[in-house]
Structure 1
Amino acid sequence: MFTRCCSILVHMNNINSLVTIAVVNFQPVLDGSRPNKVETLKKIERFTMEAVKRGANIVVFPELALTSYSGFPPEAAYELSEPIPGESTSIIQKIASQHRIYVAFGMIERVGSKLYNAVPFIGPTGILGVYRKVHPAKFAEKWVTPGDSYPLIQTPWGPIGIGICYDNYCFPEVPRIYALRGARIHLNVTAIPQFPDASDYLDFYVTMLGARSIENNLFIASANMVGRQGEFTYFGHSMIIGPKPGKMSYHIYAGPLGREEGIAIATLDLSWLNNLPMGVRTIFEDRRPETYIHLVKG
């Protein structure tokens, strides 16, 4: 069977329709104000194994899960960085290989003198891709070199897209780029705190991800930090959100978790994405990219 997905033909017979995804509310280990990568990596291993026991195929951790997002001074970023592949990805790779699981987690990637806010996607056969945050927040990520590409991760469930936090909330082009290339699953690897001057960030978080899922016909697996790190407190609420079959609305398939560490897990039937209401069904066919020149003028 063939179906038209995101302006391309996808051969559904060669893609698994059922996938179980786990998203993790996670707090890195800090020794005072210093990230403890060794102990944090052990926590990542423990949560991964718990997800394995619960039948997960894919496990998603937050942005910069290995180091914390705001629990270190910018000048410490280089010392906390690693190449990919490197020591930490090798440890996760062994687990992925042994248990036939796929893991995505945030870390600081070092390439020469450049540092990236990165997410390696690791599977049983190795590192399947690395996403580097394209839109680092200037107020908080002065050490980050922006990424410049949108790698499509090939999996048994079809291609998967990845965006990091700000990429997904404020730049709708990011999930759209992946959707146009056939992705039906998108990872939101995030570290979104409760800012002191805003009381509605949870509403913002759910609303934006719900909109991204509906307008792109994607399931979005979102993993967020919890707890206090430096000047910020993270509100968690990791969840899996996606279009509601046959409806012009979104549905939360797992979570949202609260503000404590934990795992939300859901088994998704990707064939549901073929059951679209009329208002969504022709979005990709109705696009007029030739009129969007102002989007790329800078």
Structure 2
Amino acid sequence: MDERLDVALIQTRTPATASAGLAHVEPLIREAAAGGAKLILTPEGTNVLEQRRGLRDAALSTEDADPAVLGLRALADELGVWLLIGSAIVRSDAPGDDRAANRSLLVDPTGAVVARYDKLHVFDVDLPGGETYRESASVRPGVGATVAETPWGRLGLSICYDVRFPHLYRALAKTGATMIAVPAAFTRPTGEAHWETLLRARAIETGAFVMAPAQGGAHEDGRQTWGRSTIVGPWGEIIAKADHDDPCVLPATLDLSAVQRARQAVPSLLHDRDFDWPQ
């Protein structure tokens, strides 16, 4: 296995329809591939960002009919790259549940979807600045974690708010993940306060590369997202970071042997102990 991997994170400001979302992200993915990236990751909500329920429901398709998903699968095939669609907001296939699925899709260089992950933790909050989010009202949480095989090692999948639940990341690492994706659309207040700290903590705890492509800026539905897409090494060091909210490509080369060195230096993944919970 090659111990060096050229990756690229795509930072976007996704529009409110899937066709517009594809048109927005496609040139950035082409730029990343032209720069030599073999694994390209996009943010949460790559196809559609629309929090107004009626407009969002009207914009959604099933995974197999979504224009952005289909277009991005064809693009991965054309460019011969691995592509993580950080998430696509698609119609859920759960009977009797009209909520959407917030779904990561790992696409191989033939355009095939080789792994799926539905966001486990949904974000319900009333922020001090007046912003309110009720993701649970419109998004059906997933039920299982996912670690996917790639030519460079195992890739653990997560989405945005998941980053606040360290036990998920420990489970991904203990199941062999040496890289973990955290595609996100973090709000500005929480992003400014917590984004980098959480990403570095998850990397340190797992001894894995953490790759976090983000949405950034003012969106059509009124939300404000933080941007600052970031790649963190397994020792907790920042390898690459966007210092703004604007759409961009963030390239980096990962030295995959750093995972083994970090885990040998601090072998905490081997030291779990059962304990009695406090009463």
Runs of 4+ in 1 over 4 A off after TM superposition: none
Residues 132-188 of structure 1, C-alpha deviation per residue, up to 9 Å, x if partnerless?
Answer: 1100113331111100111211110111011111101x1011211110011111111
Where 1:176 maps in the other structure, the secondary structure is: helix
Aligned-pair CA distance for 1:28: 1.4
Q: Which residue of 1 aligns with 2:53?
A: 74
Q: Which residue of 2 aligns with 1:190?
A: 184
C-alpha distance in 1, partners of 2:161/2:197? Answer: 14
Q: Indicate which of 137, 143, 152 corresponds to 2:123.
A: 137
Mapping for residues 43-82 of structure 1, pairs under 5 Å: 43-68=24-49, 71-82=50-61
C-alpha distance in 1, partners of 2:90/2:263? Answer: 41
Q: Which runs of 5+ in 2 are unaligned?
A: 125-132
C-alpha distance in 2, partners of 1:62/1:279? Answer: 32
Q: TM-score, normalised by structure 2?
A: 0.87
Identical amino acids, percent of aligned pairs: 23
Aligned amino acid, residue 17 of structure 2: N
Q: Which residue of 2 aligns with 1:88?
A: 68
C-alpha distance in 2, partners of 1:153/1:167? Answer: 17
User: Across the two proteins, how many residue pairs are aligned to each other?
Assistant: 261
Distance verdict in 2 for CA 1:64–1:83, change over 3 Å: same
Aligned-pair CA distance for 1:81: 2.3
C-alpha distance in 2, partners of 1:28/1:232? Answer: 11
CA contact under 8 A between 1:239 and 1:257: conserved in structure 2? no
Where 2:40 maps in the other structure, the secondary structure is: strand
CA contact under 8 A between 2:117 and 2:145: conserved in structure 1? yes
CA contact under 8 A between 1:257 and 1:263: conserved in structure 2? no
Where 1:134 maps in the other structure, the secondary structure is: coil
Aligned-pair CA distance for 1:294: 4.8
C-alpha distance in 1, partners of 2:263/2:160? Answer: 28
Aligned amino acid, residue 189 of structure 1: P
C-alpha distance in 1, partners of 2:19/2:152? Answer: 32
Mapping for residues 140-179 of structure 1, pairs under 5 Å: 140-141=134-135, 142-168=137-163, 170-179=164-173
CA contact under 8 A between 1:122 and 1:128: conserved in structure 2? yes
Aligned amino acid, residue 75 of structure 2: I
C-alpha distance in 2, partners of 1:277/1:52? Answer: 31
Distance verdict in 2 for CA 1:40–1:294, change over 3 Å: same
Distance verdict in 2 for CA 1:278–1:156, change over 3 Å: closer
CA contact under 8 A between 1:85 and 1:127: conserved in structure 2? no
Aligned-pair CA distance for 1:89: 2.2
C-alpha distance in 1, partners of 2:28/2:100? Answer: 27
Q: Which residue of 2 aligns with 1:7?
A: none
Distance verdict in 2 for CA 1:88–1:40, change over 3 Å: closer
Aligned amino acid, residue 185 of structure 1: M
CA contact under 8 A between 1:119 and 1:132: conserved in structure 2? yes
C-alpha distance in 1, partners of 2:263/2:115? Answer: 33
Where 1:67 maps in the other structure, the secondary structure is: coil
Where 1:243 maps in the other structure, the secondary structure is: coil
Aligned-pair CA distance for 1:114: 4.4
C-alpha distance in 2, partners of 1:109/1:243? Answer: 32
Aligned amino acid, residue 64 of structure 1: G
Where 1:152 maps in the other structure, the secondary structure is: strand
Q: TM-score, normalised by structure 1?
A: 0.81
Aligned-pair CA distance for 1:93: 1.5
Moved more, 76-85 or 120-129: 76-85
Mapping for residues 228-239 of structure 1, pairs under 5 Å: 228-229=218-219, 230-239=221-230
Aligned-pair CA distance for 1:237: 0.5
CA contact under 8 A between 2:148 and 2:154: conserved in structure 1? yes
C-alpha distance in 2, partners of 1:181/1:278? Answer: 17
Find out whether 1:118 has 2:113 as its counterpart.
no
Q: Which residue of 1 aligns with 2:251?
A: 265
Mapping for residues 6-45 of structure 1, pairs under 5 Å: 15-29=1-15, 35-45=16-26
Where 1:85 maps in the other structure, the secondary structure is: helix
C-alpha distance in 2, partners of 1:257/1:20? Answer: 20
Aligned amino acid, residue 210 of structure 2: I
CA contact under 8 A between 1:21 and 1:221: conserved in structure 2? no
CA contact under 8 A between 1:77 and 1:143: conserved in structure 2? no
